[in-house]
Chains A and B, each alone.
Chain A
Amino acid sequence: MSERQNQKLSKEAEHAVLQQYTRRHFLKDGAMGFGALALGSLLGGCFGKSSASAHTLFDASNPLASRPPQFPGKAKSVIYIHMAGAPSQLELFSYKPELAKLDGLDCPQSLLEGKKFAFIRGVPKMLGPQAVFRQHGKSGLWLSDNLPHLATVADEIAMLNAVTTDQFNHAPAQLLMHTGSARLGRPSIGAWVTYGMGTENKNLPGFVVLTSGGNNPDAGKSVWGSGFLPSVYQGVQCRSEGDPVLFIKDPSGMDRDLRKASIDAINKVNQEQYAEYKDPEILSRISQYEMAYKMQISVPDVMNINDEPQYIHEMYGTQPGKTSFANNVLLARKLVEKGVRFVQLFDWGWDTHGDSAGNAVDIGLVNKCRKVDRPITALLLDLKQRGLLDETLVIWGQEFGRTPMQENREGKKMPFKGRDHHSAAFNMWMAGGGIKGGVTYGETDEIGYNIVSGKTEAYDIQATILNQLGFDHEKLTFESQGRNFRLTDLSGKVINEIIA
């Protein structure tokens, strides 16, 4: 980063800090005198480092200050919807008429040689598409009838036809998609973005996670972890039932004024502790308590969808008070509207092996689609009508795809039609946030087994997301264990073909 950029960065940060301090209503109380005290130490801590390079974006005393990206990005925020378990592209996005002709035939040996599958053993049968495909919109995008609503916004979507991964188990594949490494320990993309940009709304976490489908993703909380980045950048999981965030409600008998008074007292004591010990972690704790206080107001507020108008509920198919994917999608819109940078949704239950009706590509998958098709479409339309789609990048993601062969676990016939995990080729799509609508990128062979052109790896998707936000993925780095790490490791190219 150039010296000029650095100066600009410092100036911006200084401005942001000052603004926050003047806004910090619960510290305004003149009698406390804490605000001024903290401000002094904050500025001292922050701007002593102004000559440092990009990886010192982190300042313990104000880690979430809103920061401009490296260059003006088209997107201000991201809604990343991950379908955990990996839906079948062959029943959703990937139109393969040739595969229908092979239905029921033995899989040719050439496809099996040297391949390892999670469950397929021996020689499986090919399984033709279990859905009807049609072309939609001006672009003529092929979509299956499982997604009738999405079909109406086909021209908003950039379809990636040739995504690939080298992981065929859920947890490592999810980690690779979200952290750039199949092993535990790296920061997730939301953490990187929050580290790079801070949060626009100091009263909400910069990175929020919402889960549906009855389970957390297979890789657990590490897919929204902060890895070696400071923990303040990890995703905050919000719940749509009970307290939206655990322990966010004050005890009965304590009103907001008292909570404010108590946090003031705690922070004053901690400030005195800081004066004695000068340990920067103490400042960090002070800011965590401030953040906690703010979250107590803003989180329940933003997590409440009761006050949304009826037409919005109809559009999304939301039912207040329930835990559902639809509710999470509407919440994602609200969060983004309020300035949250990165909203990560995980919807569990797409692992269509065919071991039960619920996991069959012609039964369970159809039902899952019904639950997501309308809300996702509503999200794109709703963002658009609010003028937010241009600056909000929406992503349909999954950890891998599914095989064109029917699963035959232990070499046996499965009770229902299902497909095994397939890492070589699958689909994802992006919309909004400066992405071109109505385009496709990449091609697979006629049965969707291998990539023919436009190979897209997790790193390329990550590079593209960062690019849309205004970051060169090679330059958003953090030093850990003696080396500069980045989300995309040593790979990644921006997919320019889909950028508007």
Chain B
Amino acid sequence: MKLLFSKKIIPVIALLVFATAVIIAIKPDSRIDFSSQVKPIFNKKCITCHGGVKQKGGFSLLFRDEALANTKSGKPAIIPGKPAESELIKRIVSTDPDIRMPYKHPPLTDQEIKILKQWIKEGAQWGEHWAYVPVKRELVPDSRKGWIRNDVDQFVYQKFKEEKLSPSGEAERAILLRRVSLDLTGLPPTAAQAQTFLTDNSPKAYENLVDGLLASPGYGERWTSLWLDLARYADTKGYEKDGSRTIWKYRDWLIHAFNTDKPYNNFLMEQLAGDLMPDPDDAKYIATSFHRNTMTNDEGGTDNEEFRTAAVLDRVNTTWGALLGTTFNCVQCHSHPYDPFKHEEYYKFMAFFNNSRDEDSDLEYPLLRQYNKADSLKLNSVVEWLGKNVSLAEGKKYYKFLKTWQPSINTLKCDQFVNGALLDCSAGLRNQGTCRLKNVVLDQKDQLIFRYHTNINGGKWTIYLDSLNGRLLKTIPLVNRENKGSWQIGTADLPSAQGKHSLYFKFYNPSLKSPEETGVMFDWLWFDQKFPGKGKPGFEMASNSFNELMHAPVETIPVMVENNSDQFRATHVFVRGNRSVKGNEVTPDVPHTLNPMPAGAPKNRLGMAMWLTDPANPLVARTLVNRLWEQLFGYGLAETLEDLGSQGIPPTHRELLDHLSWKFMHDFNWSVKKVLKEMVLSATYRQDSKVTEELLKKDPNNKFYARGPRVRLSAEQIRDQGLAVSNVLSSKMYGKSVMPFQPEGIWRSPYSGDLWKISEGEDQFRRAVYTYWKRTAPYPSMITFDGGAREVCITRRIRTNTPLQALTTLNDSTYLVMARYFASRMNELGGGEVNKKIAKGYELMMYKPISEGRLNALKELYDTSFNKYKNDPKGSAQMLGIHDKPDPESASLVMVASAMLNMDEWLNKN
């Protein structure tokens, strides 16, 4: 018999990653299920060599059409219905080590072989992976068990029966109060919330508490912290230089969006394509900063196109990883090794993102320009005037230009510098310096508006067509207006010209002292028509307003703006992910195995956003619901939040995940608050989190939820609750990122003068979500408690438990300050005796009386401290941070307060 795979084809290294055998029983009376029985065998034993990455012997098991196609031998390896004749079966059962598959690896088990034989016999049908099938309404199991409070519990209870588990009782009210408050708002409950709940014995008490928490402003701040990881939000640009970036208004947009419970479909639509929605306002532009959180490389000499591309790839990977729970980045270099995504589909999807205006400019164009109130009114009147006297389209064009300076051309596109250079991203020319700007369309352009910088008057800028000896288009004098030496806007009329040209620039200024001195820098150029409507009533005023607005003071934030048709970029496949090897040109599209683009959706970012938020999209709701569940219960229903594909860990409760996802989209109309409420109102969530030996043995990680969640709080929650209980937490919302206390020497920014300048007043004590985030040197306590650098999207934080965490909450000055304030609060509210003060402190933290053992341990600490401090006035003063006022009582109470801020029950939700 002719071998299907000649030995030559099989290289020596046959990488088979997975060796563990999985035994899946075949039920005699049912058909083989591809997804749960066959696909796991392929993934573990075959697909590394016969899948998306490699197709040894011309054979791949990724798609059915590929698997049934002829291999290199000229024959197919699988013949549906005929296992005995299928080469695949012959090869896995062979005893000849040169023939037997998996090559040079342990053979398949008898059970696995049996499954594959049976599956081929039944026709070798492909099945779809659960996460790629649209979400459908699940049948809710109907158990009458009294424990059950809502549908969540029905699904959970169903599993209890299978796993022979039974639910735990409800957690005591104080525990539940703190748990749900930290979960929903990231903060402990206020005294009033606690008082109301703990004294309300009505059946609605808990639901009322939940409603109050969902409505509180802290809710938005808490869920924004989560989203900032996904959006890889930072206050710096990343890479080696890691300079500052002003993008905090995006963080504020998120807080507001969560608090107003913006439906999740709109929430995503605006972040992905707000700029392309009709008449985008500032908020819609700011939403698109989501994808401007990509890193920008300001290092000298870097190729802007390289890092622009890196940002675009990151947008694709973040969209898939964070919003669609898919490791799409695998597909950048080859077809997905395990999941049904083809190499080319990556680039088709990338094409949605490849036509935004950003070009890795150090100035981070395009920027949204936000005017003050008076100027905003002026802008409105200009737009209105144009709409009335010229056209609505002209109104929109000028609105966009004044809001974003687009569609201008960045001078970082200039090349062929002589006596000049690209200075970061601005074209700089010395006396007699020249450079070129390619591909400028001049049809019907009779005006040039440009941004430039010169320190010295007398400069002249000449523009030639097609070569330095070509037609002189224009000579423009460059003034240093009011001798300010700052960036300014210039305007020049242009003679008529047609077609697309290379423009050659030459700069003269004989009054420059040194030939080395740069005489001018250009930033961007806008070739267009003169302000329209001349002769119409009000023209002067509108045209003047336009000029004034170009110079008006603004606040800026990087946003997405799409290229216009002159600026269109073609997208190519990168062969094996290599940007410099371009394959076929592709047009925007979504992977063929998922839902198609909705009818009428344009093939651009907006259409992609419509596709992604279409209820037919199988991944978007599941990914979010799974993530919300993880935030409340410690682990996702599918543990690998970042990978719902066939290599991810399958969900423990697939039906529950689908049920909630369906409800989220259809019944709750994408309301995040409603789905969270459904989860926290369940009996499952309300359970006591105590562990019995039996439970620990049966379900160590609580994957079946027979007890309440008990996990360590996040970095943000730990800081915020400490500030809250110490009564120093600032309730100020929104605004610039702040710099709370941080030890010296954390920032190492060799190429920047940026300094960590400690914020003053209440800004010291803002919620963690407002802390300035520098990518190369994130805030230490955030990192110690498992935050990431946010260079790329963080799809899941892995919790750890380390001595460095202990040192942080013991010794970080922030926590010492908290302990001081907390002690003074205990002192104030606790009454005379030390025991009462400690008991009061515990109650402030945990909403219940302190146990005797805890009280004794803490009182003993107080006594030990007091004995020391009564003889050490200096020590007591230092402990209090007041240099001249020894106070052994207060210092000892600070010791106790600090210890209490380190209690395990405080660092966890119980």
Contacts and interface: CB of A to CB of B under 8 A. Distances in A.
Interface of A: 116, 121, 205, 214-215, 220, 226, 230-232, 234, 236, 239, 241-243, 245-255, 257-259, 261-266, 268-270, 272-274, 276-282, 284-286, 288-289, 291-292, 295-296, 355, 410, 481-484, 489-490
Given A258-B895, A265-B860, A288-B802, 20 more contacts: A214-B748, A245-B804, A245-B807, A253-B879, A261-B895, A262-B898, A266-B903, A268-B853, A269-B854, A269-B858, A278-B691, A280-B696, A281-B710, A281-B801, A281-B908, A286-B904, A292-B806, A296-B807, A483-B19, A490-B19
Contacts of B905: 269-270, 273
Interface in B2-26: 15-20, 22
Contact of B857 (A269, A292, A489): A269
Interface string B572-588: 00001010100000000
B806 A482 contact: no
A253 B692 contact: no
Contacts of A274: 904
Given A258-B868, A291-B803, A246 B691 contact: no
Contact of A242 (B743, B864, B898, B899): B743
A263 B851 CA distance: 18
B185 interface: no
A220 B864 CA distance: 43
A483 B865 CA distance: 51
Interface string B784-808: 1000010000000011111111111
Contacts of B807: 245-248, 292, 295-296
B451 interface: no
Given A272-B853, A410-B303, A234 B800 contact: yes
Contact of B904 (A249, A253, A282): A282
Nearest to A237: B804
Contacts of B15: 490
B650 to A, nearest CB: 10
Interface residues of B, number: 77
Interface of B: 15-20, 22, 105, 301, 303, 576, 578, 580, 649, 689-693, 696, 710, 712, 743-745, 748, 750, 780, 784, 789, 798-808, 810-813, 816, 851, 853-854, 857-858, 860-861, 864-865, 868, 872, 874-880, 891, 895-896, 898-900, 902-905, 907-908, 910
A272 B210 CA distance: 30
Given A261-B864, A265-B860, A288-B806, A253 B875 contact: yes
Contacts of A249: 811
Contact of A231 (B649, B691, B710, B801): B801
A71 B653 CA distance: 43
Contacts of B875: 253-255
B15 to A, nearest CB: 7
Contact of A278 (B690, B789, B853): B690
A261 B861 CA distance: 6
Contacts of A281: 710, 712, 801, 908
A247 B877 contact: no
A262 B710 CA distance: 25
A286 B903 CA distance: 10
25 contacts: A230-B800, A236-B802, A243-B743, A252-B878, A252-B879, A257-B868, A258-B864, A258-B865, A261-B864, A261-B895, A265-B858, A265-B861, A266-B902, A270-B905, A274-B904, A281-B710, A281-B801, A281-B908, A284-B801, A288-B805, A292-B803, A292-B804, A482-B22, A483-B20, A484-B20
A484 B44 CA distance: 13
Contacts of A272: 851, 853-854, 857
A258 B899 CA distance: 11
A246 B780 contact: yes
A220 B903 CA distance: 31
A281 B576 CA distance: 44
A231 B800 contact: yes
B865 A261 contact: yes
B878 A251 contact: yes
Nearest to B813: A251
B837 to A, nearest CB: 15
A9 B381 CA distance: 82
Nearest to B862: A265
Contacts of B898: 262
A246 B690 contact: no
Nearest to B744: A242
B802 A277 contact: no
Contacts of B798: 231
Contacts of B861: 261-262, 264-265
Contacts of B872: 253
Nearest to A267: B857
B20 A288 contact: no
Contacts of B693: 278
Contacts of A292: 803-804, 806-807, 810
B336 to A, nearest CB: 14
Contact of A246 (B20, B692, B804, B874): B804
B299 to A, nearest CB: 10
A259 B868 CA distance: 12
A487 B689 CA distance: 35
A251 B823 CA distance: 16
Contacts of A214: 748, 750
A289 B16 CA distance: 42
Contacts of B902: 266, 289
A231 B19 CA distance: 26
Nearest to B892: A258
A51 to B, nearest CB: 14
Most chain-B Cβ atoms within 10 A of its Cβ — which of A250, A251, A274, A410? A251
B710 A279 contact: yes
A277 B805 contact: no
A291 to B, nearest CB: 4
B691 to A, nearest CB: 4
B907 A251 contact: no
Contacts of A490: 15-17, 19, 105
Given A253-B875, A292-B807, A482-B20, A247 B812 contact: yes
Given A265-B861, A285-B904, A278 B816 contact: no
B801 A288 contact: yes
Contacts of A288: 801-803, 805-806
